[in-house]
């Protein structure tokens, strides 16, 4: 189950991603926002991050204008590893190496076509489970 959320800057891309997830038969819950009216990205970032940290959802997708503010917000929550990706290489690498549990995207940065490829790469790539990556993630969690 995927938790998804955006601010107004990511609203349109969120709607495209939701349609794509539905087409793929993947379940999700939308944490808002629900229109292009201006809102504050930390509220959505924190809500999705807490839902994942609490174990209610396995993965999250967060979108704001740049993807920066909403990923910074989500990464304040212990246990969250939110990765801002602008290409498929980093989306794959952050799953393999960082076991990222949230994908952050910039709705004003990436077009819909690329964003959906990034989403698919992120969702379809498992964590490598390699010892060195487990050790490094442990060191992130220690702080
Ligand atoms: C909103 O205008 C914009 O600041 C926000 O979507 C995001 O890009 C912040 O990092």
Q: Is residue 119 within 8 Å of residue 61, measured between CB atoms?
A: yes
Count CA atoms closer than 13 A to 26's CA, side-chain side. Answer: 21
Active site residues: 64, 97
Residue 61 CB burial class (10 angstroms; 0-12, 13-18, ≥19): buried
Sequential pLDDT tens for the chain (143 residues): 999 999 999 999 999 999 999 999 999 999 999 999 999 999 999 999 999 999 999 999 999 999 999 999 999 999 999 999 999 999 999 999 999 999 999 999 999 999 999 999 999 999 999 999 999 999 999 99
Question: To the nearest whole percent, how much of the chain has pLDDT over 70?
Answer: 100
Considering only CA atoms, which residue is closest to atom 8 of ligand 1? 65
Question: What is the best residue among 10, 12, 39, 64 to mutate for testing ligand 1's pocket, by most ligand atoms within 8 Å of CB?
Answer: 64
The pLDDT value recorded for residue 55 is 98
Q: Tokens 């959505």 belong to which residue?
A: 44
Ligand 1 lining (C-beta closer than 6 Å): 7, 9, 41, 64-66, 68-69
What was the pLDDT predicted at 107?
98
Q: What is the pTM of this model?
A: 0.98
């Amino acid at each position: 189950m995927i938790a998804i959320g955006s601010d107004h800057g990511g609203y349109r891309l969120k709607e495209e991603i939701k349609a794509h997830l539905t087409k793929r038969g993947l379940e999700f819950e939308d944490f808002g926002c629900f229109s292009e009216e201006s809102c504050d990205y930390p509220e959505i970032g924190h809500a999705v991050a807490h839902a994942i940290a609490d174990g209610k959802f396995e993965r999250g997708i967060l979108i704001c204008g740049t993807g920066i503010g909403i990923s910074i917000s989500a990464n304040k929550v212990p246990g969250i590893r939110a990765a801002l990706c602008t290409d498929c290489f980093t989306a794959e690498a952050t799953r393999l190496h960082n076991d990222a549990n949230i994908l952050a995207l910039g709705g004003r940065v990436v077009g819909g076509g690329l964003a959906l490829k990034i989403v698919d790469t992120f969702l379809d790539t498992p964590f490598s489970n390699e010892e060195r990556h487990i050790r490094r993630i442990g060191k992130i969690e220690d702080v």
